[in-house]
Amino acid sequence: MKESLYRRIARELAQQILSGQYPVGSLLPTEMALCEHYQVSRHTMREALRDLTEQGLITRRKGSGTQVADKAQHKGLNHPLACLEDLFFLAKNNPRVVKRIDEVVADYDLAQTIGCEQGSRWLHVASIREDSENKDAPICWTDSYASATFTKVRQLVRSDPFALISDLIETHYGIQSEEVRQTIFAVTVSAKIAKVLGVEPGSPALKIVRRYLDRDGNTFETTISVHPADRYACSIVLTRAKG
């Protein structure tokens, strides 16, 4: 589904707010200045600002301008996911710390989860995503599974901690992500990873499984991330289908 112009502008402004480019309490540029910057009509810009208002990121008062709201302080918590670029934004602001790299053979359960044939070999990267502002409270634990033929990934994930593994594969192997299929579950944190995440075993969490598909519809990487409930909010934009 093609993203509308005003939603793209709203997403870009939201990223700038959540990254701290516009701190809490500061004013965004005037509506006219934003129109000139993005080369859009006032109607389009007002729709974009309305979207940000509904997200709780800004407040608008006549004669006072557009102010960044207190909610934007929780920039490590809220992550808009309207398109693939939003995943890149999340990665570039929260470094990966690799805990283990090995090769695994997919059993039945793993094959069902990551979308592969049972008995196939996969490169497994276990890591956390640090919160750039609180290293004692990682955003998530992630188990990434990529084709075992992508041998360069072993070194690349350590040398470039801000890149998505899918992005590294694209850059070095010429495979492009055409689609990401995402499934979200409510789970509890296992004892195995609770200490690393700094939470109690059995505490609530979100489990997000993302399958990265190439142009032929084949899965070339799957990530399974567990986010403690108080450290992640996934914002997804839904629009009405046209036609």
pLDDT along the chain (243 residues), means of 10: 76 81 90 94 92 84 84 52 61 85 96 91 95 82 95 94 90 88 94 94 94 91 93 69 63
CB neighbours of 188 closer than 8 A, spacing ≥ 6? 201, 202, 203, 204, 205
Report helix, strand or coil for 225. Answer: strand
CA distance 36 to 83: 25
pLDDT of residue 227: 93
- Evaluate whether 13 touches 52 at the Cβ level (below 8 Å): yes
- Evaluate whether 235 touches 81 at the Cβ level (below 8 Å): yes
pLDDT of residue 54: 80
CA distance 160 to 197: 22
CA distance 19 to 26: 13
Report helix, strand or coil for 35. Answer: helix
- Evaluate whether 76 touches 227 at the Cβ level (below 8 Å): no
- Evaluate whether 19 touches 11 at the Cβ level (below 8 Å): no
Give me 124's structure tokens.
């497994």
CA distance 195 to 203: 12
